[in-house]
Structure 1
């Protein structure tokens, strides 16, 4: 039996998102999108020094802080020399101020999520059908509850 092709982790995470779950992120002071931007900037620092995000613990309390305090709280205790971070300070602050650009990307991602979800479901239906299964697709509940509301049924 042929194995179905794997999607990247980013594509799989996209299909879990539904626009119903998020507030309009382009509002002037959208905390939700600013947090994504702050995380992206911190991710840039981590990658520069060969670290992984899984090595960093971020609490909800920290995510509400202004960027400089957020970055300090997240990065403290890591093996990154403080002098290195100070040298990159202006660049990091400039990146953090670009949260509206992150909001545009975020909206594009949310807009494409239902399309990706549909493609994944169609791909699974076609795969099962090609393998000789009788396939049905049923909506189990409203998409406002969860965007992953479809059930794939198959019998051989």
Structure 2
């Protein structure tokens, strides 16, 4: 079972994938995440790159993605990050989490997470399914602005 901090980190990674697809930031994030998922295994990294490309293509195939489509894409990649972290043990998990934090800190489209806290700067979505309850407690200022629309890659 992952800590709340690692689950938040995984959610930020998923959100970064969903918001970067089709933007100028995509190639950089794609490459860094492929390397992160590969963790030294070239085949695993290439498989992750192929999955990232497939997710981006699916997300953008109908034009500008809806909020629900962005949410589903982000949730799928959150789950992929969670599964990767769960397969790792102690020191390897700590190193992977450190690497992912650093990767996301460099990514302009990623929600910003401050280590040790549950503070997020960027998109955060709270979602409940199957009769469960979801809530967010906000202590401080809230500022709203629309995200930039995704840019369809030239191809």
- State TM-score, norm by structure 1: 0.26
* Bigger relative contact order, structure 1 or 2 (CA pairs below 8 A, ≥6 apart): 2
Normalized per residue, the structure richer in strand is: 1
Higher CA-based Rg: 1
